[in-house]
């Protein structure tokens, strides 16, 4: 059982800036440091950009890493009318690349973050030098299936406890049960430290509110990423965990066949939260995938 207590893995806040997406949403950006070519890191639903910090440390010798809080997550704003159509996440990526003048960065994504990178690449083919996607959320359906109001992930998000007496209590709760107990301790610490806001009564509450997370999950089947995969011009690595229940070889094959230039990699011992479970191993996989272009 995970037993380390706060604040042993306390993470200092990196340099923060922000950009404005086309619909006016403020997107907060984190400079995770490093040297070499620029890389943009996109997190999964329910998390925030600073959960990438432990993995970015293992990329620092080769890549200068930037992460961002997607709309509705971390310190970024919420879209007008809580419209969480996933095209907005693609526009967040474009806003960061343009606003920070990243040129043609590498992209590293996890789950919905992978999808956001691919949506941005489709909107502007050649935006990225290469993309590493760990289990992108893409249903192989053309046309898209539409919004899923019966999504079990959305139902689970609406049941999520979003307030705790303290960050210590949140850390203890998350560290005692799956799936978050399976995270690398430094990742879990960063998630809790930066993923909660302080309330006036002394308690803390998740910045990514459960209704926002639920709406995002309902829209996971409504985007047209699969239909537009042929528009991607950069090399794409599709990575997935051998222990994942979210991915399987048939799904990976469908995505690989729809992309102009794609390779696949299976990560032994990892589940859907792989980049957060073993940052070192996934960072090594990222560097191997990008090595032809570094």
Q: Is position 240 within any domain?
A: yes
Q: Is position 193 within any domain?
A: no
pLDDT value, residue 8: 35
pLDDT value, residue 194: 96
Q: Tell me, what DSSP letter sits at residue 78? A: P
* Residue keyed to tokens 């440091």: 33
pLDDT at 19 exceeding the cut of 90: yes
Handedness of CA 209, 211, 214, 216 (dihedral sign): negative
Q: Do residues 28 and 76 touch, judged by C-beta distance below 8 A?
A: yes
Q: Is position 146 within any domain?
A: yes
SS3 118: helix
Q: Is position 221 within any domain?
A: yes
How does pLDDT run across 230-251, given as a tens digit for each residue? 999 999 999 999 999 999 889 9
Q: Of all residues in the chain, what percent carry a pLDDT higher than 90?
A: 92
Q: Do residues 179 and 271 touch, judged by C-beta distance below 8 A?
A: yes
pLDDT value, residue 25: 97
Q: Of all residues in the chain, what percent carry a pLDDT higher than 70?
A: 96
**Residues spanned by the domain of 46:** 15-156+211-290
pLDDT value, residue 13: 65
Question: Mean pLDDT score of the chain, rounded to an integer?
Answer: 94
**CATH of residue 68:** 3.40.50.1820
How does pLDDT run across 32-72, given as a tens digit for each residue? 999 999 999 999 999 999 999 999 999 999 999 999 999 99
Alpha carbons 78 and 227: distance in angstroms, whole number = 27
> Tokens for 20?
């404005």
Band the pLDDT of 208: cuts 50, 70, 90. Answer: very high
Q: Is position 204 within any domain?
A: no
Q: State the greatest distance between any 2 C-alpha atoms of the chain, in Å, as a whole number.
A: 53
| Average pLDDT of the residues in 203-230 | 98
Those residues whose C-beta lies under 8 Å from the C-beta of residue 87, and which sit 6 or more positions away, are 119, 223
Q: In what order do the strands lie in the sheet with 262-267?
A: 15-20, 26-33, 63-68, 37-42, 106-110, 130-134, 236-241, 262-267
Q: Is position 168 within any domain?
A: no
Q: Is position 183 within any domain?
A: no
| Total domains, the chain | 1
How does pLDDT run across 92-117, given as a tens digit for each residue? 999 999 999 999 999 999 999 999 99
Exposure string of 158-192, with b = 16+ CB inside 10 Å and e = fewer, is: eeeebebeebeebbbebbeeeebebbbbbbbbbbb
Burial of 251 (0-12, 13-18, 19+ CB in 10 A): middle
Band the pLDDT of 15: cuts 50, 70, 90. Answer: confident
Band the pLDDT of 16: cuts 50, 70, 90. Answer: confident
pLDDT value, residue 5: 36
> Tokens for 216?
């995002």
Alpha carbons 283 and 211: distance in angstroms, whole number = 32
Q: Tell me, what DSSP letter sits at residue 243? A: T
Q: Is position 136 within any domain?
A: yes
| Average pLDDT of the residues in 205-216 | 98
Band the pLDDT of 10: cuts 50, 70, 90. Answer: very low
Q: Do residues 139 and 145 touch, judged by C-beta distance below 8 A?
A: yes
Q: Do residues 50 and 74 touch, judged by C-beta distance below 8 A?
A: yes
């Amino acid at each position: 059982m995970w037993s380390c207590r706060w604040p042993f893995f306390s993470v200092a806040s990196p340099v923060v800036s922000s950009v404005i997406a086309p619909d006016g949403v403020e997107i907060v950006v984190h400079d995770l440091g490093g040297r070499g070519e620029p890389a943009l890191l996109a997190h999964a639903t329910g998390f925030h950009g600073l959960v990438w910090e432990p993995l970015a440390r293992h990329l620092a010798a080769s890549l200068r890493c930037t992460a961002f809080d997607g709309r509705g997550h971390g310190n970024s704003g919420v879209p007008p009318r809580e419209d969480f159509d996933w095209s907005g996440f693609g526009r967040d990526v474009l806003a960061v690349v343009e606003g920070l003048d990243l040129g043609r960065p590498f992209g590293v994504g996890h789950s919905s973050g992978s999808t956001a990178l691919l949506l941005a690449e489709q909107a502007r083919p050649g935006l990225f030098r290469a993309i590493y996607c760990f289990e992108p959320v893409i249903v192989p359906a053309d046309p898209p299936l539409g919004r899923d109001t019966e999504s079990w992930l959305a139902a689970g998000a609406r049941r999520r406890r979003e307030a705790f007496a303290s960050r210590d209590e949140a850390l203890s709760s998350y560290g005692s049960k799956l799936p978050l107990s399976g995270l690398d301790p430094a990742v879990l610490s960063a998630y809790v430290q930066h993923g909660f806001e302080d309330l006036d009564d002394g308690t803390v509450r998740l910045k990514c509110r459960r209704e926002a997370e639920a709406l995002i999950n309902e829209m996971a089947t409504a985007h047209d990423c699969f239909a537009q995969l042929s528009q991607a011009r950069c090399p794409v690595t599709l990575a997935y965990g051998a222990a994942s229940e979210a991915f399987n070889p048939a799904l990976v094959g469908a995505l690989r066949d729809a992309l102009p230039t794609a390779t696949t990699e299976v990560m032994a011992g990892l589940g859907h939260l792989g980049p957060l479970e073993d940052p070192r191993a996934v960072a090594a996989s990222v560097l191997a995938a990008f090595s032809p272009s570094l």
